[in-house]
Chain A
Amino acid sequence: MIEQSNFNIAHNEAPAIMAVGRYLNAAGEKVLLPYSAPEFERATKAYALRLGTFHFRSGGQVLMTSIYDESYQFGSFNRALGAFQLVLLSSDASVFDAYRTESCLRRFQIPAVAGVSSAVLDGLEELGHSPAKLMKDKVVWSRPDSHQRLQNYGTFRVYRWLELGPAVALECSAGAGAHIDRLEWKVDEDNGELVLSSRLPRVVPFSGYRTGLSGSVSYTTCQCGSADPRIHLAGG
């Protein structure tokens, strides 16, 4: 393992705020997260690296289920899709918008769905739809609360979409752990808990931030060719 340094130490001046999003703290509570255009740009590039491993055809459509306060986490993903000329379809990651989720999955040729939560699955099932059929053969990025349930359907590949406090880790096509951007974040384990420090100038720097998530980190190069560390949550 190469010891990661913290570039942030050399930068005292906070970058200008572009927008204010939120992250989830160790207790699962929402905390306001102001962020800058460079942070957003770097997150976009990190997502593009993961998306590139799937070789989606340009012009394809990707469905994102999200809610508006996830602008930092999903807005950069939204923009990364553009790097591959992929078109974004969106529906609310909630029970009541399941009719839109279903309509998108039924009417459009969609190779991938991102950000699927338990609420999305509940909504689809309440309307009498089968997620197993609707998402068959698609790439599905799961949130932690739906991961096991999605795997149980068994009709599509499930990849991790993982929020670790202010960071997002995303699995590549190798499906061997969720990559976290090594230039942006230094990630460590401390007594089994994942701990983050930011390495580049951020509006809100993080140092030794305890995520409250139990897991481990792989620092070896992934099959996809990336040297970005991979997160494995405890319990699979």
Chain B
Amino acid sequence: MTMAQPGGDGFPPFYDEQIETLPREDLLRMQEGHLLQLIPYVYERSPLIREVWQAAGVKPEDIRSLEDFKARAPFIDKDRIRRYRDDNLDPFGGIKCVDNQYISVVGFTSGTTGDPTPVPKPLKYEYHHLKRDFWHIGVRPGDYFCYLLFTFSDGHSPDRYTDCGFRPIPFQHSPAEIPQFIQASLEYRPKLVFTISTPMVMALEEYQKESGVDLTDVFSSYEGAIFGGEAPPPKVKRLLDSWGLEMYETTNVGDVIGGIDCSAHAGFHTWEDLVLVECLDPDGDTPVSDGERGELVVTSLQDDAAPLVRYRTDDLVTFTTEPCVCGRTHGRIKVLGRKGDELIIDGKSILPRNINPIVDCIPETESVLYQVIKTSREMDVLRIRIGYNPKALTRTLDELREFLCRRIAEELEVPVEVELTLNAELLKLGPPHKIPRVTKQ
């Protein structure tokens, strides 16, 4: 684990030390400052926020402090934005606060749970969060990094990093691009790959077997690989380790920014100068204790194009404001799953990611391709469709099915039904980086 030390490379240890190590009381003062400017601005310009606040009987002048905001501000969520969008034929769902001339790019959410939601970015949008995290991992001015985001959904901006001197090498996130990715790694000796996914790691393993390429050499210049798309299966971590790649993880902090874990690997830093993070009772509006499970609720603090205000993300997380050993002071979240994906089986809470470590240990299913079949939130039996690799079969399919049922039932202590299907069939269901983990059928 790397601690914050003055860089041996002559560079400071932080991209923005002033902000990244801000004492908590200063951070809260900064949040309050941003928030008190934001609220009247958004109330005046965002039709959705005005509608929601008026319905709740709350006015901007009622908010005079961070505490007032947390006590009184009403919530919005994705369904509310979609409803406004459909009722008013407003593609931005009522959250846009500026004329189009002040927007550079409209990004989108993944669209996993419905029509992709637009995320407009202002002309002056800065990628501070990524620069801080890339720097922490070891990218410095003049260094290259491979940029393999999943789907092209927020424009091209190779000049996004020009100010800090990072040099991107963008690729399509596809196993078909692996020869190019390897060639670029050998020619330009990048420091980072952002991002990598289970299918890409599995394809790299296959490519290594077929071509004999030494991935340890290919990745010898790398300081890290940022994994995204889902919780990393244990096999992915083992493979990356075997190639000398330190794995970092990334997640969305409520569609406001991306969060990346640090070298302590103790949660995703949330960059609280950019986003106000609350962790609330998933079925209510009271905060849970530090480190307790709750729903992530976010407010954009420095976005004047389409700020989200008290946005319930549906993400179940734990949140701690304990300072991290990496030296940075911003709070960290750990992601548990999506509230909408949760199943109650025999009164027990099950999230799809609970299945990862079980199927990962079984040779036929170690690709960790599976779908939970959810017909309602509460069910009597946990039904799972699991992908298998036919080349790895060491028993009949009936024997494998029975074995999986027994193992999962023992581990999760709920009744289980398993349906087996070929890995290749499941991979057809999603974009290249992941498949939907929950399905209705």
List chain A positions with a Cβ less than 8 A from chain B: 17-22, 30, 32, 37, 40, 58-61, 64-72, 74-75, 78-79, 82, 85, 87-94, 96-97, 99-100, 103, 107-108
Are B158 and A107 in contact, with the CB atoms below 8 A? no
Please provide the 5 A-B residue pairs with the shortest distance between their CB atoms, ordered closest to farther: A75-B156, A59-B100, A19-B158, A107-B91, A20-B169
Are A69 and B158 in contact, with the CB atoms below 8 A? no
A20-B169, A68-B172 are known contacts. Are A59 and B99 too (CB-CB below 8 A)?
yes
For the complex, is B151 an interface residue (Cβ under 8 Å from A)?
yes
Are A103 and B116 in contact, with the CB atoms below 8 A? yes
Are A19 and B168 in contact, with the CB atoms below 8 A? yes
Residue of B nearest to A96 (CB): B431
26 pairs, A vs B, C-beta closer than 8 Å: A19-B158, A20-B144, A20-B188, A22-B180, A32-B180, A64-B155, A65-B152, A66-B152, A67-B172, A68-B156, A68-B171, A68-B172, A69-B170, A69-B172, A72-B158, A75-B157, A75-B158, A78-B157, A85-B100, A88-B155, A90-B108, A92-B151, A97-B151, A99-B115, A100-B151, A107-B115
A59-B99, A61-B100, A82-B123 are known contacts. Are A71 and B167 too (CB-CB below 8 A)?
no
Considering residues B107, B116, B144, which has the most beta carbons from chain A within 10 angstroms of its beta carbon? Answer: B116
Considering residues B100, B123, B156, B168, which has the most beta carbons from chain A within 10 angstroms of its beta carbon? Answer: B156
For the complex, is B426 an interface residue (Cβ under 8 Å from A)?
no
Among A60, A79, A93, A99, point to the contact of B159 (Cβ < 8 A).
A79
Are B162 and A18 in contact, with the CB atoms below 8 A? yes
Query: Please, which residues of chain B bring their CB within 8 A of the CB of A72?
Result: 158
Chain B nearest CB: distance from A59 CB in Å?
4
Write out, one digit per residue, whether chain B residues 336-350 have a CB within 8 A of any chain A CB (1) or not (0): 000000000000000
Are B187 and A90 in contact, with the CB atoms below 8 A? no
Query: Please, which residues of chain B bring their CB within 8 A of the CB of A108?
Result: 91
Query: Please, which residues of chain A bring their CB within 8 A of the CB of B149?
Result: 68
A100 to B144, CA, bound (A): 30
A18 to B167, CA, bound (A): 6
Chain A nearest CB: distance from B98 CB in Å?
10
A92 to B156, CA, bound (A): 11
Are A20 and B180 in contact, with the CB atoms below 8 A? no
A30 to B172, CA, bound (A): 12
Write out, one digit per residue, whether chain B residues 96-108 have a CB within 8 A of any chain A CB (1) or not (0): 0001110111111
Chain A nearest CB: distance from B205 CB in Å?
22
For the complex, is B16 an interface residue (Cβ under 8 Å from A)?
no
A90-B154, A92-B153 are known contacts. Are A59 and B101 too (CB-CB below 8 A)?
yes
Query: Please, which residues of chain B bring their CB within 8 A of the CB of A37?
Result: 159, 162
Are A74 and B100 in contact, with the CB atoms below 8 A? no
Are B167 and A20 in contact, with the CB atoms below 8 A? yes
Are B188 and A93 in contact, with the CB atoms below 8 A? no
A68-B170, A100-B116 are known contacts. Are A91 and B159 too (CB-CB below 8 A)?
no
Query: Please, which residues of chain B bring their CB within 8 A of the CB of A58?
Result: 100-101
List chain B positions with a Cβ less than 8 A from chain A: 85, 91, 99-101, 103-108, 111, 115-116, 118, 120, 123, 144, 147-149, 151-159, 162, 167-173, 177, 180, 183-184, 187-188, 430-432
Chain B nearest CB: distance from A44 CB in Å?
9
A55 to B154, CA, bound (A): 24
Query: Please, which residues of chain A bring their CB within 8 A of the CB of B170?
Result: 19, 21, 68-69, 71
Query: Please, which residues of chain A bring their CB within 8 A of the CB of B91?
Result: 107-108
Among B101, B152, B159, point to the contact of A68 (Cβ < 8 A).
B152
Are A69 and B171 in contact, with the CB atoms below 8 A? yes
Are A60 and B100 in contact, with the CB atoms below 8 A? yes
Query: Please, which residues of chain B bring their CB within 8 A of the CB of A94?
Result: 151
Are A21 and B153 in contact, with the CB atoms below 8 A? no
Chain A nearest CB: distance from B143 CB in Å?
11
Chain B nearest CB: distance from A116 CB in Å?
13
Considering residues B85, B104, B158, B177, which has the most beta carbons from chain A within 10 angstroms of its beta carbon? Answer: B158
Chain B nearest CB: distance from A102 CB in Å?
9
Query: Please, which residues of chain A bring their CB within 8 A of the CB of B148?
Result: 68
A145 to B25, CA, bound (A): 58
Chain B nearest CB: distance from A228 CB in Å?
23
A17 to B168, CA, bound (A): 10
Query: Please, which residues of chain B bring their CB within 8 A of the CB of A78?
Result: 105, 155-157
A79 to B118, CA, bound (A): 19
Are B173 and A90 in contact, with the CB atoms below 8 A? no
